[in-house]
Structure 1
Amino acid sequence: MAESLVEIQRRIASTKKTSQITSAMQMVSGSKLHRSEVASKTFQLYASKVREVVTHLAAAELLSLEGEVEPDPFDDTDELHYHSMLVSRPVKKTGYIVITADKGLAGGYNSSVIKQTLTMLGQDHENDNEYVMMAIGRAGADFFKSRGMNIAYEMRGLSDHPTFAEVMKIVRAAIKMYENEVFDELYVCYNHHVNSLSAQFRAEKMLPISDLVAEEAKTYEKEYILEPSKEEILNRILPQYAETLIYGAILDAKTAEHAARMTAMKSATDNASNIIDDLTISFNRARQTAITQEITEIVGGAAALE
Structure 2
Amino acid sequence: MANLKEIRNRITSIKSTMQITSAMKMVSAAKLKKAQDAITAMRPYSSKLTELLQNLSATSDSDAGGAYSKEREVSKVLLVVITSNRGLCGGFNSSITKTTVRTIEEKYSNVEVDLFAIGKKGGDVLSKQYSIVATRNDLFDDLTFNNVAAVAEKLMEMYIDGSYDKIELIYNQFKNAATQLPQVEQFLPIKPIEDGDVNTANSDYLFEPSKEEIVEALIPKSLKTQLYKAIRDSFASEHGARMTAMHKATDNATDLRDELLLTYNKARQAAITNEILEIVGGAEALNN
Alignment of 1:5-154 (within 5 A): 5-55=4-54, 57-58=56-57, 61-62=60-61, 65=62, 80=63, 83-126=66-109, 130-147=112-129, 149-154=130-135
Q: Which residue number in structure 1 is paired with residue 201 of structure 2?
A: 217
CA-atom RMSD in angstroms: 2.1
Instruction: Compute the TM-score of the two structures, normalised by the length of structure 2.
Output: 0.91
Could you list the per-position Cα deviations for residues 5-58 of structure 1 after superposition, in whole angstroms to 9, with x for gaps in the alignment?
233222212211210110111111112112111100111122133235424543
| Structure 2 counterpart of 1:162 | 143
Unaligned runs of 5+ in 1: 66-79
Report the counterpart of residue 223 of structure 2 in structure 1.
242
The alpha carbon displacement at 1:211 in A equals 4.0
Residue pair 1:102, 1:158 contacting (<8 A) in 2 also: no
**How far apart in 2 are the matches of 1:88 and 1:7?**
67
Runs (4 or more) in structure 1 with deviation over 3 Å come to 55-61, 215-218
Provide the C-alpha distance between the structure 1 equivalents of 2:55 and 2:95, rounded to a whole number of angstroms. 38
Q: Which moved more, 1:45-54 or 1:282-291?
A: 45-54
Provide the C-alpha distance between the structure 1 equivalents of 2:266 and 2:138, rounded to a whole number of angstroms.
49
Secondary structure of 1:103's counterpart equals coil
In the aligned structure 2, how far is the partner of 1:245 from the partner of 1:8? 53
Alpha-carbon contact 1:109-1:257 (below 8 Å) kept: yes
Q: Call closer, same or farther: CA 1:164–1:261 in 2, change over 3 Å.
A: same
Name the amino acid aligned to 2:71: S
The one-letter code of the counterpart of 1:169 is A
Q: TM-score, normalised by structure 1?
A: 0.85
- Closer/same/farther in 2, CA of residues 216 and 85 from structure 1, 3 Å limit: farther
Question: Letter of the aligned partner of 1:28 in structure 2?
Answer: V
Relative to 1, partners in 2 of residues 1:82 and 1:277: Cα closer, same or farther, differing over 3 Å? closer
> Which amino acid is 1:255 matched to?
A
Partner Cα separation in structure 2 for residue 299 and residue 234 of structure 1: 96
In structure 2, the partner of 1:75 is none
Out of 165, 189, 200, the residue aligned to residue 181 of structure 2 is 200
Q: How does 1:223-238 map to 2 (within 5 A)?
A: 223-226=206-209, 229-238=210-219
User: CA separation of 1:81/1:236 partners in 2, compared to 1, >3 Å: closer, same or farther?
Assistant: closer
* Aligned residue identity for 2:172: N
The aligned counterpart of 1:73 is: none
Once structures 1 and 2 are overlaid, which stretch shifts more, 239-248 or 289-298? 239-248
Taking structure 1 as reference, are residues 81 and 119 closer, same or farther at Cα in structure 2, changes over 3 Å only? same
Rounded to whole Å, the distance in 2 between the matches of 1:59 and 1:139 is 38
**Per-residue displacement from partner, 1:120-165 (whole Å, max 9, x unpaired)?**
21122336x6122111011122223233x22222111332772111
SS of corresponding position for 1:217: helix
Instruction: Give the deviation of 1:251 after TM superposition.
Output: 1.0
SS in 1 for 2:140: coil
Q: 1:82 to 1:279 in 2, by over 3 A?
A: closer
1:60 is displaced (CA, Å) by 5.8
Whichever residue aligns with residue 290 of structure 1, its letter is: A
Q: Which amino acid aligns with 2:94?
A: S
The aligned amino acid for 1:273 is: T
CA distance in 2, matches of 1:234, 1:217: 16
Aligned residues with identical type, % of pairs? 38
Q: Does 1:274 align with 2:255?
A: yes
Please report how far the alpha carbon of residue 193 of structure 1 lies from its aligned counterpart in structure 2 after TM superposition. Answer: 1.8
For the Cα contact (< 8 Å) 1:54–1:234, is it kept in 2?
Answer: yes
Cα distance change, pair 82–283 in 1 and its aligned pair in 2 (3 A): closer
Residue of 241, 258, 261 corresponding to 1:260? 241
Is the Cα contact below 8 Å between 1:161 and 1:254 reproduced in 2?
Answer: no
Shift of 1:204: 1.0
CA distance in 2 between counterparts of 1:106 and 1:10 reads 27
Per-residue deviation, 1:93: 1.2
Counterpart-to-counterpart distance in 2, 1:133 and 1:279: 47
